[in-house]
């Protein structure tokens, strides 16, 4: 069967195409559910059940459905709908009471224009000697649970402002301190302008453009990546096959890059590892205690959505070598489909040493180069850039890495005023508040399929005694994380802690259950006080590991609608049930935090900081799975 959308041959987990997005909107319009006033918040693939995906065969038409979130500004109502593409039917549609959906790019732009036109705001600018409001950048921020009670139930955002003398100035160099607007985004009206007093604009421009920071260094010789015989991966639709790895490159308007159905081809047998992997929330709590700066808590996935903020990547800049790009299709607030070209990059990289041994008797050295397949995308969220990388290794490992770069958020300082205790002075008249970035990776694990169980593995010293006369022994202690509460865990680097996901029904050659371990990287906990509103809203930050039995409705660790939600929603709420997590279809949620005490060197644009984690096989293979990687040159001489 070929549907109107040409679904035959498409994988059931492929993101919605432009054509499909257009069809979904046409169905909703003809049913009278989309008017010119309606704001389209999110149109994404309604992912079919795993059984349905596994039963799908190439060349056949999968069941394609879309899930849609719309917002009606006049009553301030949010609706969720599921639309079937094959028969152009609305499967379900419901009003979701008492929520505020994410804020889209068009709302940001309208909010900026609305505030800029407000006389109270313009008077505030005039008090600061700014006579040209068009030179002020006005950023809308989610207000969390801090909206004044008189605006209860309204769609409220607040704003920070920054001045540019020239259009391509770094706006964050000159915060317009003390002037804040509260905006009703549904009515698109400024409801209040607060002026906390004038701080003079900082004198610097925070320049980073090459024509302004020169002269540029001239002693970097070209370093080029040559792949004369092309790449070692193949792409069919959205499916990527590289070495033994197979997976599908997905995308959602909310999470951006998503990987589906990751499996390893082992001696002709496809072995599942992870069914779906994404970063399902990103929260940045700031340490500035002064209202309204104390409201600065961005939920970049749930309040704004990474998809529309995804960069179009440039060859030779974002990725090097022979690249395969994927475009992504989205819908704007008016329901008009559009494409971000080259939004996802797939390429191979040399990754240093894979393994080596030199035998002094034979004089023979065996060396293998590591290579990795990289799937990446970069988002720009206001001042910050987040570059997301998934690395697939020849040794059966998967690594996730996020590089944080861009420009730090800033506040103004009066002349001679020192930096406060919660920030770093980064330029004359400018400080960057301390803050943290908490990412939550959602990993629907399927190690050799399902069911799976999770163990925490600590290393500890063995007791001294007759069995340990030299006191040198150390052992591992393994603890089953058998329920949701037992599985709320934190890192412990001094115990070399990791979490092992096993399939109790699949045994390796040595008799142990096959597994993959989640190895946390450097991470941190929030420093907010217990009971602080941000911990209530983003409770997932308080644990580095959560495990839940798979439920398709549980997608986002801070809940479906964190915008203006006081919490608790998401993981802290679901896990109250303390459901069993042993021998089950499991989702692992890994919180990783980047702690940012700003440095002068992070200004005016930050050298990339990295956070990440790894999934490594443990008894999944019988031995090093990379023994069959050939030496670098055909004669084994490593090209000498
Ligand atoms: Cu930071």
The pLDDT, as a whole number, for residue 92 is 98
Nearest C-alpha neighbor of 148 from the set 158, 159, 139: 158
The pLDDT, as a whole number, for residue 7 is 60
Peptide bond into 451 cis (omega under 30): yes
The pLDDT, as a whole number, for residue 318 is 87
H-type helices in 192-258, by residue range?
Answer: 210-213
The structure tokens 């070399």 sit at 496
The helix (H) or strand (E) run that includes residue 537 is helix 533-537
The pLDDT, as a whole number, for residue 638 is 58
Neighbours of ion ligand 1 (CB under 5 A): 596
Residue 518 and residue 443 in contact, taking contact as beta carbons nearer than 8 Å: yes
Please give the distance, rounded to the nearest whole angstrom, from the Cα atom of residue 410 to the centre of ligand 1: 11
Structure tokens at 202: 């900082």
Please give the distance, rounded to the nearest whole angstrom, from the Cα atom of residue 219 to the centre of ligand 1: 31
Taking the chain (640 residues) in runs of 10, the rounded mean pLDDT of each run is 53 97 98 97 97 93 95 96 97 97 96 98 98 98 96 97 96 97 98 97 95 94 93 96 98 98 96 98 97 94 95 88 96 97 97 97 96 98 97 98 98 92 96 98 98 98 97 98 98 98 96 98 96 97 98 98 97 98 98 98 98 98 97 60
Structure tokens at 537: 């809203």
Please give the distance, rounded to the nearest whole angstrom, from the Cα atom of residue 232 to the centre of ligand 1: 36
The pLDDT, as a whole number, for residue 3 is 39
Please give the distance, rounded to the nearest whole angstrom, from the Cα atom of residue 138 to the centre of ligand 1: 20
Q: b vs e for 287-301, b when ≥16 Cβ sit within 10 Å of the residue's Cβ?
A: bbeeebbbbbbbbbb
Q: HSE-up of 395 (CA within 13 Å, CB side)?
A: 17
CA distances for 254 relative to 25, 280, 419, 455, 477, angstroms? 18, 8, 36, 31, 39
Nearest C-alpha neighbor of 193 from the set 145, 126, 135: 126
Catalytic residue IDs: 300, 384
The helix (H) or strand (E) run that includes residue 377 is strand 364-381
Please give the distance, rounded to the nearest whole angstrom, from the Cα atom of residue 616 to the centre of ligand 1: 28
H-type helices in 544-608, by residue range?
Answer: 571-574
């Amino acid at each position: 069967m070929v549907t109107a959308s040409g679904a035959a041959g498409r994988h059931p987990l492929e993101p919605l195409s432009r054509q499909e997005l257009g069809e979904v909107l046409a169905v909703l319009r003809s049913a009278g559910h989309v008017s010119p006033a309606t704001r389209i918040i999110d149109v994404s693939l309604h992912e079919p059940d795993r059984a349905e995906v596994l039963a799908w065969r190439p060349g056949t038409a999968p069941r394609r459905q879309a899930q849609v979130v719309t917002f009606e500004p006049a009553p301030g109502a949010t609706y969720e709908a599921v639309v079937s593409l094959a028969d152009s039917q609305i499967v379900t549609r419901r009003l979701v009471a008492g929520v505020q959906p994410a804020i889209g790019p068009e709302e940001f732009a309208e909010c900026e224009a609305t505030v800029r036109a407000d006389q109270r705001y313009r008077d505030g600018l005039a008090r600061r000697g700014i006579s040209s409001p068009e030179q002020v950048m006005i950023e809308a921020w989610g207000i969390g649970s801090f909206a004044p009670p008189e605006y209860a139930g309204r769609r409220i955002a607040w704003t920070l402002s920054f001045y540019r003398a020239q259009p391509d100035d770094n706006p964050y160099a000159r915060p317009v301190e003390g002037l804040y607007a509260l905006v009703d985004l549904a009515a698109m009206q400024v409801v209040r302008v607060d002026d906390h007093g004038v701080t003079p604009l900082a004198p610097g421009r925070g320049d980073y453009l090459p024509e302004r920071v020169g002269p540029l260094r001239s002693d970097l010789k070209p370093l080029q990546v040559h792949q004369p015989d092309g790449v070692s991966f193949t792409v069919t639709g959205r499916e990527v096959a590289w070495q033994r790895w197979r997976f599908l490159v997905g995308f959602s308007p909310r999470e951006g890059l998503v990987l589906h159905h990751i499996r390893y081809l082992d001696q002709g047998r496809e072995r599942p590892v992870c069914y779906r992997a994404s970063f399902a929330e990103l929260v940045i709590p700031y340490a500035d205690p002064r209202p309204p700066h104390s409201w600065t808590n961005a939920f970049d996935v749930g309040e704004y959505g990474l998809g529309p903020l995804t960069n179009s990547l440039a060859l030779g800049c974002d990725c090097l070598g022979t690249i395969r790009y994927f475009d992504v299709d989205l819908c704007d607030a008016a329901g008009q489909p559009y494409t971000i070209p080259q939004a996802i990059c797939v390429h191979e990289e040399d990754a240093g040493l894979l393994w080596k041994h030199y035998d002094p008797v034979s004089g023979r050295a065996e060396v293998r180069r590591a290579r990795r397949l990289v799937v990446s995308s970069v988002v720009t969220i206001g001042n910050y850039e987040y570059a997301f990388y998934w690395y697939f290794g020849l040794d059966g490992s998967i690594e996730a890495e996020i590089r944080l770069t861009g420009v730090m958020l800033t506040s103004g300082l009066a002349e001679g005023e020192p930096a406060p205790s919660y920030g770093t002075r980064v330029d004359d008249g400018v400080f960057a508040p301390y803050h943290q970035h908490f990412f939550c990776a959602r990993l629907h694990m399927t190690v050799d399929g399902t069911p799976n169980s999770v163990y925490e593995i600590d290393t500890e010293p063995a007791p001294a005694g007759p069995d340990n006369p030299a006191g040198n022994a150390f052992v591992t202690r393994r603890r089953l994380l058998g329920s949701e509460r037992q599985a709320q865990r934190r890192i412990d680097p001094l115990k070399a802690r990791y979490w092992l996901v096993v399939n109790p029904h699949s045994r390796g050659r040595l008799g142990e259950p096959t597994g993959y371990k989640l190895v946390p990287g450097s991470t941190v906990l929030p420093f907010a006080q217990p009971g602080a509103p941000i911990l209530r809203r983003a409770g997932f930050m308080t644990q580095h590991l959560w495990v839940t039995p798979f439920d398709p409705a549980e997608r986002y660790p801070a809940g479906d609608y964190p915008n203006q939600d006081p919490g608790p929603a998401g993981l802290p709420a679901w896990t109250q049930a303390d459901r069993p997590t042993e021998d089950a279809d499991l989702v692992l949620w890994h919180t990783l935090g980047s702690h940012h005490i700003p440095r002068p060197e992070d200004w005016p644009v930050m050298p990339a900081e990295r956070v990440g984690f790894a999934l490594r096989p443990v008894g999944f293979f019988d031995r090093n799975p990379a023994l069959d990687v050939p030496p670098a040159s055909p004669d084994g001489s490593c090209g000498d």
